[in-house]
A and B are shown apart, each in its own frame.
Chain A
């Protein structure tokens, strides 16, 4: 054998490098990148949240927990957190729910054209969220938008303040646009799981009289339990990471009604220049991330 690293091979199968050093060479590049660009900034965010300082200001003042005291009294922070939760739970229902139904139909419901449908429904996943948001921005426009026309054509009245201008519905529209893009991803993920379910299980169930919806409920869902857990985890993490859709569709508006933690951090940091306070919001996001990461570990160990 020719070694790609020159001639390290020695007689008798002795290794030239200790296992530890070998491990280090293979592991350290990835680990150090994660440390430097994920964990160090996370620590700095925590320490930075104890100060008050501006984006352009040369000095910073220690304020202790001052930023956090301000945070719990800040109604926009609570709106942001609530919106993140709406997106997490709404996406679980819409993306995984609809994804599940579509996948089940593709798996056992229809045969002709299934690749065609699968390809089309997955397509938006490839498109950047920014592009998706810009297209939808025009569809949702109150003056010439397609959605208004469609709603009017079936005899309903579109919201007078505009789909994205009405604070009562705008976050649900953001959720809907995200579902438009991401449902295909969940569908294909779940489909992969469904195709791994052995045919015999359905046959056995059919003998017991379980067909159609009953088979789906009693056979299919339990069989893809692991994949559903992965799907829920990915959706939850995505729901807290959401930034692009909100930033492009509404910039957090109208009047902060669609603000999420990510965009609120950005607003405080880079538009208003309150870096210390932005860090405090970020720390809440970090705590949530650690919590989900821990859940993910628990689950992956079980699986």
Chain B
């Protein structure tokens, strides 16, 4: 975590320096306020700082204000700020319903013209990437990279005890049982669900493995008829799979009271042999000095309709506030972030999969980064995560459902009834 700190003070110092430059630049001083996730990991702050210095060489008079927010607070804060009188000019967002709603409500700027202009970001990436922030072919955001999610496991522990990567969800549960048999005090797979999204990511994938894309799409976008919404028994099966994993001894005793960072710390301190963590976690574990781990995808569900080759995939990027005073400049700024050189630089500092992969072969990443990059490239489908994909109220109901399931306060049937009721109300309000 200390490297983050250094970057932050550097950002502050450089922000000040750039500010002075900007003031010296003369009358047309323009300020770009940019919001990012605080715990994005890697060297994001440093990357942005260098890019900003470069950008202000070609755009004299531009000053930057970088602000960061912790993950948990970000979604709420960005809504509040955009609805208010002092929003950031450009802000990080996940591709999904939230981003689309901001576009529909007129708070996120239509970037199509700027994107297609010379040097615009539309020339830097494939249509597939561009579509992640598009509605009817109009671009309301620019993807920078995508994140995925994998099981990380301690290779030393697995070798020592002759454990192997599971190929089905049932085997995964069996793995937990074996680990508990080795030492019952070891938590095989710490969850850290106190912010509710950890389990949400898992149930996203389980829903997919059980039901497949076709089985969920109409429920997720609320287009199914009201009497059919979220009625597929596969949803209950997916929750039951969580309960089975829990009773196989996978998770810690109080997952809803444990922070995800604590769970990560348990893995990187080698107190736990396994964790389901984002692709960004690799850089974080490296940063904490733990490198002896392997990776595997969330395995298949026996008899499930989902394609086991499909991976968790959330494109992330930037949107521009409709209230910004200098949209063209801001569009040029974000476009510069996905130039061939910057995209490669971003990929190597962040160990991330960039939207512009032109120079990806020049990136000299760690073995884990290479593994992740290859795996994401070979994925046969992508699954976006429920807490950004679903309508706000339904998403919240799904998040709460996870807590109830883990606490054993509601059965899978009961939580699905709750989710259904919220979904019907949300559909009504549409």
Contact = CB atoms under 8 A, between A and B. Distances in A.
B75 interface: yes
Interface size class of A (residues with CB under 8 A): 20 to 34
A142 B254 contact: yes
A51 interface: no
Interface stretch (B116-124, B205-213, B337-345, B400-408): B400-408
B83 A165 contact: no
Contacts of A273: 79, 392
B400 A167 contact: no
Given A161-B407, A271-B75, A253 B254 contact: no
Interface in B57-105: 75-76, 79-80, 82-83, 101-102, 105
B254 A56 contact: no
Contacts of A166: 254, 257, 407
Contact of B254 (A52, A161, A256, A270): A161
B407 A255 contact: yes
A165 B400 CA distance: 12
B256 A56 contact: no
A232 B286 CA distance: 55
Interface string A146-163: 000000000000011111
B196 A142 contact: no
A57 B391 CA distance: 14
A254 B256 contact: yes
Given A167-B407, A256-B400, A271 B76 contact: yes
A165 B79 contact: no
A54 interface: yes
A55 interface: yes
B28 interface: no
A161 B194 CA distance: 11
B396 A56 contact: no
B105 A58 contact: yes
Contact of A160 (B80, B106, B196, B253): B253
B409 interface: yes
Contact of B256 (A54, A58, A161, A270): A161
Nearest to B84: A55
B404 A272 contact: no
B409 A255 contact: yes
B123 to A, nearest CB: 30
Contacts of A255: 400-401, 403-404, 407, 409
B258 A270 contact: no
A33 to B, nearest CB: 20
A267 B403 CA distance: 17
A16 interface: no
A56 B407 contact: no
A272 B409 CA distance: 23
Contacts, number: 90
Contacts of A162: 253-254, 256-258
A254 B403 contact: yes
A164 interface: yes
Contacts of A199: none
B219 interface: no
A253 B403 contact: yes
B110 interface: no
A270 B257 CA distance: 23
Contacts of A253: 194, 196, 256, 400, 403
B214 interface: no
Contacts of A272: 392-393, 396
B282 interface: no
Nearest to B410: A255
B107 interface: yes
A141 interface: yes
B135 to A, nearest CB: 15
B185 interface: no
Contacts of B262: 141, 143
Which of B75, B255, B403 has the largest count of A CB atoms less than 10 A from its CB?
B403
A35 B121 CA distance: 50
B182 interface: no
Contacts of A55: 79-80, 83
A274 interface: yes
B402 to A, nearest CB: 9
A161 B257 contact: yes
A143 B106 CA distance: 45
Interface in B299-322: none
A253 B266 CA distance: 23
A142 B257 CA distance: 7
A159 B256 CA distance: 12
B252 interface: yes
A14 B401 CA distance: 74
B254 A57 contact: no
Interface string A45-81: 0000000101111100000000000100000000000
Interface in B265-284: 266
Contact of A165 (B101, B256, B392): B256
Which of B82, B194, B257 has the largest count of A CB atoms less than 10 A from its CB?
B257
What 8 A-B pairs are tightest by C-beta distance, nearest first?
A162-B257, A165-B257, A162-B254, A142-B254, A165-B256, A255-B403, A56-B105, A255-B400
Interface of A: 52, 54-58, 70, 140-143, 159-167, 253-256, 267, 270-274
7 contacts: A56-B101, A159-B254, A160-B254, A161-B256, A255-B407, A272-B392, A273-B392
Interface of B: 75-76, 79-80, 82-83, 101-102, 105-107, 194, 196, 252-258, 262, 266, 392-393, 396, 400-401, 403-404, 407, 409, 425, 429
